[in-house]
A and B are shown apart, each in its own frame.
Chain A
Amino acid sequence: DQQVKQNSPSLSVQEGRISILNCDYTNSMFDYFLWYKKYPAEGPTFLISISSIKDKNEDGRFTVFLNKSAKHLSLHIVPSQPGDSAVYFCAASGNTPLVFGKGTRLSVIA
């Protein structure tokens, strides 16, 4: 039973365009959501988070949107850069350790 789902294994975007990565969750007790970025041969790196009391959090080129009624969150990267090419993991917690999705591989094409 996967509580955090990233249904798109991969995504290709042209440099300068918007990248939108999606994540769905099933556990209504989750109240804290995070995105991690992972380059090959490295550990996941924290990117941005959002609490369930908010519906949007912005940090530079990265914005996370949370739709609690739909149990859906998304990560927007604008503008996308080649250095953003990596695997992005969505994670969620609710007084429990983080539960991760399987990741989406983003390729930004120059």
Chain B
Amino acid sequence: EAGVVQSPRYKIIEKKQPVAFWCNPISGHNTLYWYLQNLGQGPELLIRYENEEAVDDSQLPKDRFSAERLKGVDSTLKIQPAELGDSAVYLCASSWGSGNTIYFGEGSWLTVV
């Protein structure tokens, strides 16, 4: 069974440029998460989807970050414009329902220069 797939794995962009990350969750998982992981820290939730609905986006900086999950499967996380402080790993994860074990993708590593 395929795990959570993310792309791109690595991205280097100049500040003020836009960037987008894509995620395909484990088949059948209705809950999808985007987490942010800074160096030396644990993952922190940005947004959680139940099917197509964003049910928890309180930690998403909405002035520059946006996310969508069309058709309740794949999801895209966008940053526009990127700032130097956005350099981090963006982790996508999925689960069957909330409160259960979540499974992570390999992450998208962003460097803003």
Contact = CB atoms under 8 A, between A and B. Distances in A.
Interface of A: 4, 32, 34, 36, 41-46, 49, 89, 91, 93-98, 100-103
A96 B107 CA distance: 22
A95 B56 CA distance: 12
A34 B43 CA distance: 13
User: Which of under 10, 10 to 19, 20 to 34, or 35 or more describes the interface residues of B?
Assistant: 20 to 34
B106 interface: yes
Interface string B96-113: 001101111111010000
Given A43-B106, A89-B42, A34 B101 contact: yes
Contact of B106 (A36, A42, A49): A42
5 contacts: A41-B109, A43-B104, A49-B101, A93-B99, A100-B42
The 7 closest A-B pairs by CB, nearest first: A100-B42, A43-B104, A43-B106, A43-B107, A44-B104, A97-B45, A102-B42
B79 interface: no
A89 B99 contact: no
A97 B56 contact: yes
Give the most central of B40, B42, B43, B109: most A CB within 10 Å. B42
Contacts of A45: 104
A93 B45 CA distance: 12
Given A4-B42, A32-B99, A43-B91, 19 more contacts: A36-B104, A41-B109, A42-B106, A43-B4, A43-B104, A43-B105, A43-B107, A44-B104, A45-B104, A46-B102, A89-B42, A91-B42, A95-B99, A96-B99, A97-B48, A97-B56, A98-B45, A102-B42, A103-B41
B33 interface: yes
B44 interface: yes
Given A97-B33, A97-B48, A97-B56, A44 B101 contact: no
